[in-house]
Structure 1
Amino acid sequence: MSVISANPWLMLLAIFVINVAYVTCLTVRTILTLKGYRYVAAAVSFIEVLIYIIGLGLVMANLDKFQNIIAYALGFSVGIIVGMKIEEKLALGYSVVNVTTANYELDLPTQLRNLGYGVTHFPAYGRDGERLVMQILTPRRFELKLMDTIKQIDEKAFVIAYEARTLHGGFWVKGVRSKKLKAYDTDEI
């Protein structure tokens, strides 16, 4: 630590990097907790607290320099972004995608089922007449792929996606056909 304390640039870098690591852990742990991964969240929190104590110690021992406080705050901000990016890549959980289309001829439910998605569809009535509404449950990691697929098949479809919190019964209990979902390329549609 004396090498870091002796060099003001190393001190700034250390404070910044430690706080990025701390807040990244904090963000990921919070998301894991909200998604119900309690044991993984507990393990991440252990690492988070260790990093926090080291980082806070560095800042508290060097509060006389304003740039150290700025490095701490900047590290906090960057850590939130990094944590959110990690969560995006992990894509934990499921999304429900609701699709509304006026184009029955495309037979969108069958096309999506053939690609491995579980689709529930039913007729609905909107301002401009009869519509076909589909409800599709997909792992979050396939949400963007599903959205691209829908856009390629029916660019005028109205699509809403939201996070599914609790699942019970139906197609997904029997097993997700992830291999089939991974296998197709949206450019081939």
Structure 2
Amino acid sequence: MLSNTFAMVAIIFVINIVYVSFNTIRMILTLKGYRYYAASLSMVEVLVYVLGLGLVINNLDQIQNLIAYALGYGSGVIIGMKIEEKLALGYITVNVITAELEKDLPNYLRNRGYGVTHWTAHGRKGERLMMEILTPRRNEFDLIDAVKSYDPVAFIVSQEPKSFRGGFWVKSIRKSMRP
């Protein structure tokens, strides 16, 4: 089967997609502190890598194999990123600034299960309601949609916190982050 040029190109392409997707996911797991999952995935990753690279090196005279390897690598980056988006590991902090002081947006969000800390801030055009909301990453777009339904022009910034200390969320976060 490997003597067929098309089959060889397809196998190299697919192997590299798998390898780079695993590599991307392993990196995310490592950065988020899931060290045992990352280590386990890396064992499979290196096997796939050696297999794909071996196929290319054993057939260096075939330019289509090198092209398949490069295309598979690029495709793997995109697919790995898509997989990571679907996994949505970790938590985000969303900062919201709105001029809608009269609306009860903090309680609306709390009733939807979000942890909200809010205060009055002062901006260029007067008082604003400032909120800081911690949520699992998988809920980010639902949270943003909920805020936009109250204030379509609210200023919204999200970022990924590195560590957590104190607050009512900490116990549940630590439990969910254990491998």
Instruction: State the TM-score, normalized to the length of structure 2.
Output: 0.94
Task: Give 5+ residue unaligned stretches, structure 1.
Answer: 177-189
Q: Could you say which structure has the higher helix fraction?
A: 1
Letter in 2 for 1:141: R
Listed one character per residue, the Cα deviations across residues 110-162 of structure 1 (whole Å, up to 9, x for unaligned) are 11111111100011101001111000000000011100111111112111011
Aligned to 1:43: 40
Equivalent pairs: percent with the same residue?
A: 60
1:133 aligns with 2:130: yes
1:75 matched residue in structure 2? 72
Instruction: Read off the aligned partner of 1:35 and give its amino acid letter.
Output: K
Q: For 2:39 and 2:171, how far apart are their aligned partners in 1?
A: 30
Q: Distance in 2 between matches of 1:10 and 1:75?
A: 14
In structure 1, distance between residues paired with 2:143 and 2:115:
11
**1:173 Cα deviation (Å)?**
2.5
Q: Which residue of 2 aligns with 1:107?
A: 104
Report the CA distance between 1:175 and its aligned residue: 3.9
SS of the equivalent of 1:171 reads coil
Give 1:171 deviation, angstroms: 2.2
- The 5 A counterparts of 1:7-156 are 7-156=4-153
Name the aligned partner's letter for residue 155 of structure 1.
P
Q: Give 2:52's aligned amino acid.
A: G
| Structure 2 stretches lacking a partner, 5+ long | 174-179
Q: What value does the CA root-mean-square deviation take over the aligned residues? A: 1.0
How many residues align? The count is: 173
CA distance in 1, matches of 2:151, 2:95: 14
C-alpha separation in 1, matches of 2:88 and 2:164? 17
Q: CA deviation at 1:167?
A: 1.1
Distance, in Å, in 2 between the alignment partners of 1:97 and 1:146 is 9
